[in-house]
Amino acid sequence: MKKIWDGMFNSIKTRIIAVFVLTMLLASAASIFILGLSSNIIEKMDEMFADNVKIEQFLSDMYEINSNLTNYLVTSDSDSLLNYYRYKEIISDKAQSMFSELHGIYSQNDLIYKDIAYMVDSYLNETEAAVKAKRTDNADEYIARYAEANRITGYIRTYADRLNLNILNINTTQYLNMSDNLNKLRTSNLILITSVILLNVLVILYLTYNMTKPIIELAHSAEEMSKGNFDADDVKVHSQDELSIMANAFNAMKHSIRNYIRELHNKADTESQLLEQQIENLRMQSLLADAEMKALQMQINPHFLFNTLNAGVQLAMIEGADRTSTFLDNMAKIFRYNVKSLDRTVRIKDEIETIKAYEDLFFVRFGDIMKFEYDIDQSLLDIDVPPLIIQPLVENATIHGIGNMERGGVIKVSLDKEDTVVRVSVQDNGAGMSEKTRQMILKCQMYGSDTSGHMTGIGIYNVVQRLKLFFKHDDVIEVMSAPGKGTRVTLKIPCGPVPERAELSMSHQVVTSGQRW
């Protein structure tokens, strides 16, 4: 049987469709059988009560014709007369149908039907005579005729009730028989449904077993492979369906993996040596990054110059030179900030205050050839940053941006936030720069040098490298510039979750003399 099954249904899809169709056919056959029996019972129930319904409708029509006749005789209402004739036609037709349905040997109910039909004919004759008497204003005549009609109506109702009772007795007997048949039918339906369900379950179990057995064997073989056992027996499937194809492919894959693992074992020593070399390279890169961080944080030791400036401030105060004293005090603040802050992080607020001291120095030196503007978001001033990241931008703007302008120069320092990035911008309306220079800045390439003896400062290359190392983030700068249209340099400081920041080890800091961008 299995060979016949595999020959006829050599694919899983065909087997599933066959089982589905077989199940549907069995279920449909059972449903159609039950539906046919139910329809037959419903038809018999309708037939049982059809006569009772006809009798009730007949009595209702009798009531309507009698009511309209009474109303006409009392009020002479024309509408009542029209309704009387309409119901008269209905009653007459129904009486004729009673006669037409009688044939053969009469039963008791047939005789009652016949008597009712005769009484209806008599009733209609009496009512017609009453109407004619009413039209001739013969009151005695139509009253007598109307009384006789009412008497006949009473007989009709009596016979109709007796007929209803007889039909009810017959229907009761039929109902008892049908109830017995229904019980037998219910038992038969239960047996039929149970048989169909059991047959479907057996077919599904057989199909499921034949489909899942190879899959279970594949699963066990895969589990052995996951444990490293590639020498387990091959999975064998005797059917000619997709499971056989899958099992053969699985066996081929197992053999291929086993051969590949053997090749990997042969290359293990070489791979181990390469891995050790890569680890050494990573250690070297880490040491280089640490060295670069320390090199970028190297600084000159300006203690001698700082002490000399303090002495100059004291001397200017003693001699009453207030402007000179202020000038030297601002310069001392800048050097003091550089010395104090190099071994720790600072707030943006500290950077801004240093820029304002730098502004005072520049104003004393050059007068009002330029002005400083500030657009600061006060809520961002307490963010920690590496020291000396804004001053180099301002220094480059004053020297290389608007240094050649005689007047009208503007340097704007801005602090704002965009999404999760704090933006520190230094913008000037000076000479601007070429696209080549802008690209070199973005790529953190050292560009040119200044030997004109301008203010010593830390170049933008130094700033960018320190920000990258400090925040472990590459996108820290944005430069917008064009020749003759000024320059805007923006430092982008991450304020969301960032990787662990580099430790500031600032015993030394690299300083470039007048480094240009």
What pLDDT does residue 233 have? 73
Residue predicted with more confidence, 339 or 370: 370
What digits encode the pLDDT tens for the residues 423-456? 999 999 988 888 888 888 877 654 444 433 333 3
What pLDDT does residue 491 have? 94
What pLDDT does residue 108 have? 78
Note every long-range contact of 132-139, with CB atoms under 8 Å and residues 24 or more positions apart, other chains counting. 134/72, 134/73, 134/76
What pLDDT does residue 328 have? 74
Q: How far apart are CA 303 and CA 128, in angstroms?
A: 143
What digits encode the pLDDT tens for the residues 90-148? 888 877 776 555 545 567 777 888 888 888 888 889 888 988 988 888 888 889 998 99
What pLDDT does residue 229 have? 75
What digits encode the pLDDT tens for the residues 4-47? 555 555 666 776 777 777 777 877 777 787 777 777 777 777 67
Its pTM stands at: 0.41
What pLDDT does residue 44 have? 72
| The CA-based dihedral angle spanning residues 376, 382, 385, 387, taken in that order and rounded to the nearest 10 degrees | 80
- For domain 303-494, the question of CATH label 3.40.190.10 is answered with no
Instruction: Give the chain's length.
Output: 517
Mean pLDDT over the full length of the chain: 76
Tell me: pLDDT of 516 over 50: no
Residues 464 and 476: beta-carbon distance below 8 Å: yes
Q: Which helix (H) or strand (E) holds 480?
A: strand 477-481
- DSSP labels, 365-431: HHTTSEEEEEEE-GGGTT-EE-SSSSHHHHHHIIIIISTT-SS-EEEEEEEEEETTEEEEEEEE-S-
Tell me: pLDDT of 266 over 90: no
Type of residue numbered 204: I
Residues 514 and 455: beta-carbon distance below 8 Å: yes
What 3-state class would DSSP assign to 456? coil
What digits encode the pLDDT tens for the residues 290-316? 545 544 444 444 555 556 666 666 666
Q: How far apart are CA 72 and CA 79, in angstroms?
A: 8
Q: How far apart are CA 461 and CA 385, in angstroms?
A: 16
Report, in angstroms and rounded to the nearest whole number, the Rg of the chain calculated over CA atoms.
57
What pLDDT does residue 450 have? 43
Residue predicted with more confidence, 438 or 505: 438
Q: How far apart are CA 70 and CA 81, in angstroms?
A: 10
Q: How far apart are CA 421 and CA 496, in angstroms?
A: 8
Residue predicted with more confidence, 174 or 163: 163
Residue 40 contacts by C-beta under 8 Å, 6 or more apart in sequence?
none
Residue 411 phi/psi, 5° resolution? -120, 125
Per DSSP bridges, beta strands 370-376 and 384-385 are: unpaired
Q: What is the mean pLDDT of residues 446-472?
A: 62
Domain positions in the chain: 10-193, 303-494
From residue 185, how far is each of 26, 48, 191, 194, 198 by CA, in Å?
A: 18, 20, 10, 14, 20
- For domain 10-193, the question of CATH label 3.40.50.300 is answered with no
What pLDDT does residue 425 have? 95
